[in-house]
Structure formats: C-alpha cells, structure tokens
Structure 1
Amino acid sequence: DKNHIIDRFRNGKDLFDRAGELFRRTDANEADLPKLLRVERKRFLYMLNRSSRNAGFQDV
C-alpha cells in the first residue's frame, strides 16, 4: 500500500514494523552524507527530504 510506505518514510518508522529498528532524520547538509547524495542531490531527493506529502517520491 502506497500510503503505508509513505507513512513509514515520512515518520522514520521501519517499513515492516520490526521491533528495535530506530531511524533518525538527518540534516541534508551533514558532512557524513555519502558523496553521491551530495553531488546528485536532485536524483536522490527522496532520500534527503521526506517531509513532503509524498515523502519525496516522484511516482505517487
């Protein structure tokens, strides 16, 4: 279900509701981001900004 997936990405929850899986939101400007994400920001926007209604996915 698309809505379930979007909810998980937007709220940092595990996609399969596994216990003990913790996720934290990071600032897109953090130096510890992989270089590819920094260089190809538009390509990986869904990984960098999950706050929007569609969690950054283009096909929803």
Structure 2
Amino acid sequence: MNGADPRTGRPDIDPTTAKREELEQLVDDMEKRVEDEREKKGVPGNAAERAKQEPIVPDDQAPD
C-alpha cells in the first residue's frame, strides 16, 4: 500500500477523521439545499436578503 486511498488519491487518514469529513460535507450539502429552496420559494429573511441589509445604528449609542 502506498499510503493513499486508491479511490480519491488522498493520503490515508484515520476512520474518525474520514467520518467527520463525510458528515461535514453532508451537512454543508443539506444547508445549501435548504438555502436554495428557501430562496427559490421567496421566503423572507433568506441569507441573500440578510447580506444586503444595511446595519441599523441606534440613536442612543455610547461614545467611543
């Protein structure tokens, strides 16, 4: 064995790390699908709308 996974070409890693990376990718994919679905349906408050929002500065801020 040359120390690399023949399917991916990545170096061998312990099973716990591999499972964690697999789960992270799964969660990332699910979050992206939910985000796309909410944006497609026009649900208010999606991530794109929040990014465009101007910050609100209150009148009663303490001096710097």
Relative to the length of structure 1, the TM-score reads 0.21
Q: Identify, as 1 or 2, the structure richer in helix.
A: 2
